Amino acid sequence: MLKNKIALVTGAGSGIGEAVAQLFAANGASVVLADMDTDGADRVLGLIEKQGGKGLVVSTDVSKPDECERLVNEAVEQYGRLDIAVNNAGIAGPAAPTGEYPIDGWDKVIAINLSGVFYGMRYQIPAMLKNRGGSIVNMASILGKVGFPMSGAYVSAKHGVIGLTETAACEYATQGIRVNAVGPGFIKTPLLDKNLTPEQLVGIAAMHPMQRLGTALEVAELVLWLASEKASFVTGSYYNVDGGYLAQ
């Protein structure tokens, strides 16, 4: 499905990013795994290599534009081009009402979850134009379409990711670059486990019509399709993988 493609995945050291990187490699892509957690990314690369796949780990803080530029440059230097990028790195941020939300928490969430996607595309797109096209998938959220109490920064960033995705898709639609966003519901990942108690996880699972949390692999399967030529007429779209959350 992705034979001989070069793919870049941010936040590849765990969770959804890990699942995407492994699935891409299993489908023939060489994968550049970007993460601040290089131990996690090295672990994922080890799993990929055990299955006969190929990849490269690059330590990257997506909130810094120079590091996003370096990441793309290293991918191109190693493999000669860039075909696919998944801008997945993100954090949950503090939980607080808007009138009490910590300023430093707001700045950090926006820097990683929104600016990090912009910085990624800022350097991914020129690289893709050199080989006349590519596919970019940005990780938004169900909270890119609806509000959620105590999560103002995260909700704002994810809304912004969808708008940025739609804008870039329109700009490059005739130049062979497709740009889409994915909106996971609450997914069973280390990020969720870190920020919620077991009791809260049960309550959140019940908020989905399917009465369960999603899995990282279920999200990765959608990302794989969007990245592939099977989605050749799909751009500027926002796809939910949310167990029916937004249908309510």
The DSSP output letter for 96 is: B
Which residue's structure tokens are 């969430």?
109
Asked if 143 and 238 count as a contact pair (C-beta separation under 8 A), the reply is no
Contact 180, 139 (CB under 8 A): no
Could you give the angle at which helices 116-130 and 152-172 cross, rounded to 10 degrees? Answer: 20
Residue 13, token pair as written in the block? 């050291």
Cα 1–chain centre separation: 19
Structure tokens at 93: 């941020």
Interhelix angle 116-130/65-79, rounded to 10 degrees, is 30
Cα dihedral 190/30/138/60 (nearest 10): 60
Q: Kindly state the DSSP code that residue 63 receives in the 8-state scheme.
A: T
C-alpha triplet 157, 160, 163: angle, nearest 5°: 160
> Under a CB-based contact definition with an 8 Å cutoff, are residues 113 and 94 in contact?
no
As beta bridge partners, residue 59 has 35
Please confirm, yes or no, whether 154 is among the known catalytic residues. yes
- Integer Rg of the chain from CA: 17
Considering the candidates 123, 154, 172, 239, report the single residue annotated as catalytic: 154
| Active centre residues (catalytic) | 154
